[in-house]
Structure 1
Amino acid sequence: MKLPPLKALPVFEAVARLNSFSLAADELAVSQSAVSHQMKQLETYLGEKLFWRSGRTLTLTDEGRQYLEGIGSALLQIERASEQLLGHEESRLRLSVFSSFAVRWLVPRLPELQRLHPQVELALEMSTESPVLSDRVADCFITIHRDSPAYSYELLYVERLFPVCSQDYWQKIRRELGREELEAVDVPITPEEIARFPLLSTHSIFEKAAGDWEAWYKAVELGLPPQARIQHFSHMLLALEAARFHQGIALTNDYMLSTRKDSEDFVRLPCHPVMTGDEFFFAWKTSRRGERGLQLLRRWLVDEAIRGGLRGE
């Protein structure tokens, strides 16, 4: 078996992760010259340049990125295999997750994860976009894309949007529509009636201005009424907060209202939903499928998604 200089591999991983020889030296408790020596030795062995150096800026070459992808995963597997053999059951996992999913659904449930599986130490990495699936980014992901054949995927949620407003704003809608005698949300409101009130729009869902409300009207073969008053927000969290403070009607999804106590502040209007086409998956590297921590987290997420009504059995 022909192997590269093994002592250089964790040094390479640290330099690549930190983008710095000096920071890597501090983390590994060695001198900066020792780090430089190890990198030179590794580059000589491989016959490839792993880093570009420009002044104080350090970046990986294409070959360096490719090498890190394989080496980083291998080092993690060695670490976890060693911990398992030594009897250390702790599983330290980095989970990359969308900010809205984390804030509204996942974080309120974490005490239950810690109660059931105290050996799983979870660190959340917030993402505003679907991240590149890589060990360099996280150990596992909640993502809407299944574009990496190296990963396995478990469905958590098929997204749909529906209109909501605050309890106080619902009373205003009832008054203006002449429905004050109704106690329950049991008589459908038409799309034309919805357009009489300010519509709070989230840009990030369809990545266009008022794209969410256009899709909602299109679902019943209507166009967005030209007289509609649209208030624009970059993120669903912002639009939902505006709705909570009585500023109009927002489109939101199931996980945004499935956990937090402030969900009781909102009323789901008696209107049709619209499917966004997005599906949320828990993703993990197939080569790491035997890791107990990953499988405990996968099973717990699926059970919670089923229990909370995000997905069926």
Structure 2
Amino acid sequence: MERLRRRLPPLTALVVFEAAARLQSFTLAAQEMCITQAAVSRQIRQLEEHLGNPLFIRNHRSVALTTAGQRLFGAVDESLERIAQASTEIRGDASDAVTIAATICMSTYWLMPRLDAFQQEHPNVALRLFALDREVDLRAENVDMAITCGSEGQRHGVRMAHLMDEELVPLCSPAYLAGRVLREPGELLGERLLNLDREHWRGFNWAVVDWAAWFDHMQVRGTLPAARLAFNNHAQQIQATLDGRGIALGSPRMLADLLASGRLVEVLPQRLNTRRGYYLAINEHSTRPRAVAELQGWLERVSHAAMA
């Protein structure tokens, strides 16, 4: 064991290297590990001196792995994952439940109403639901699956499966219309329009698609009404819509239950196809692959059946 330890690089430096290589940024690695960027640079330099090879190509605002760095990252990534998996198995993994994450709105109005039916069909699969309006690192946060919005893309250790396309349509409560009928997109310029706060969502993978984009797609020219209410999460916006506070853009597929019950109505039939969709992001390193596969298959069947 002593001879082995003499051959190993400094272990702290390896952990710092893994973060920097995965994020391709010394700055982001420092933020993730709650240390300074200088400390990250120092650990990487110590590791490079130990190995006698550069691990990163340092550009002005970014870094990239050298061939040696790619080789080391593959070994470190696999080794840390095996340690994490063994640790999870040893501590019992919090009742062995499948953890699924989704935005607050998706969790509230689409996912939760369907989970009872899933558990009736699969009574042996326990579930944990995380409602989070942020990006989730599946591996670091030990999350088995997440519903994300955007393009399919590719992520290391994550498999993507299409759930539904995103189309946006003006929605409101019947009480808001009070018997009125709107016939043309331009008529909405005189209505109370509810907005998502763009600044809050800046930098997220799912950028806000707002009224300006909808009116532009409908070729409506005119001055948008001032945003009297803006919300930092879509669930609040939909709740305000249910309360009759105004008209919001929403996904008929996500909010299908509210539309079917009549609590929400489509103000106009014109829809904006955002050219993005909702995807299941599946952690390929989950310790519960069978239960995850059952939940994935069930969610895909439910979603695709609704679109048929």
CA distance in 2, matches of 1:273, 1:117: 36
Aligned match for 2:227, one of 219, 227, 230: 230
**Paired residues of 1:77 and 1:288 also in contact (CA < 8 A):** no
Q: In structure 2, do the counterparts of structure 1 residues 197 and 122 end up closer, same or farther at CA, with 3 Å as the change threshold? A: same
The corresponding residue for 2:262 is 264
Q: TM-score with structure 1 length normalisation?
A: 0.64
Match of 1:246 among 231, 244, 247: 244
Q: Any unmatched runs of 5+ in structure 1? A: 6-41, 53-57, 84-89, 178-188
1:162 has 2:169 as partner: yes
Deviation at 1:230, TM superposition (A): 2.8
Opposite residue 230 of structure 1, the aligned amino acid is A
Equivalent of 1:121 in 118, 121, 126: 126
Query: In structure 1, what residue type is equivalent to 2:177?
Result: W
Shift of residue 124 of structure 1?
1.5
Q: Determine what percentage of the aligned residue pairs are the same residue.
A: 20
Q: Secondary structure at the match of 1:265?
A: coil
SS at match of 1:296: helix
**Structure 1 partner of 2:193:** 199
2:12 corresponding residue in structure 1: 49
CA deviation digits over 1:289-308, x for unaligned, max 9? 99211111110110111233
Of 293, 296, 301 in structure 1, the residue corresponding to residue 294 of structure 2 is 296
Aligned residues: 246
Name the CA distance, whole Å, in 1 between partners of 2:215 and 2:249: 12
* Matched residue type, 2:192: P
Q: Deviations over 1:163-204 (max 9, x none)?
A: 111112222533xx6xxxxxxxxxxx2122111211111235
Contact 2:171 2:265 in 1 (8 A): yes
Q: 1:299 to 1:149 in 2, by over 3 A?
A: same
* Correspondence for 2:282: 284
Q: Is the 8 A contact 2:158 2:281 kept in 1?
A: yes
**Shift in CA distance, 120/71, structure 1 to aligned 2, threshold 3 Å:** farther
Contact kept, 8 Å, 1:155 with 1:279, in 2: the verdict is yes
- How many Å separate the matches in 2 of 1:213 and 1:285? 34
The aligned counterpart of 1:107 is 112
Cα distance in 1 for residues equivalent to 2:306 and 2:82: 33
Partner AA of 1:267 in structure 2: V
- 1:250-270 per-position Cα deviation (integer Å, ceiling 9, x unaligned): 111124422358952211122
The correspondence for 1:93, drawn from 88, 98, 104, is 98
Q: State the Cα distance separating 1:271 from its structure 2 match.
A: 3.3
SS in 1 for 2:137: coil
1:93 deviation in Å? Answer: 1.6
Q: Structure 1's 132 and 46: CA in aligned 2 closer, same or farther, altered over 3 A? A: same
- Distance apart, 1:97 and its partner CA: 1.5
TM-score (norm 2): 0.65
Deviations 1:91-145 (A, max 9, x none): 5221121111111111111111111112211111222123234253412222235
Matched, 1:76 2:85: yes
Residues 162 and 96 (structure 1), Cα distance of their counterparts in 2 relative to 1, 3 Å cut: same
Contact 1:200 1:248 (C-alpha < 8 Å) held by counterparts: yes
Q: Would you say the 8 A contact 1:205–1:211 is kept in 2?
A: no
Q: Distance in 1 between matches of 2:189 and 2:154?
A: 38
Code of the aligned partner of 2:283: K
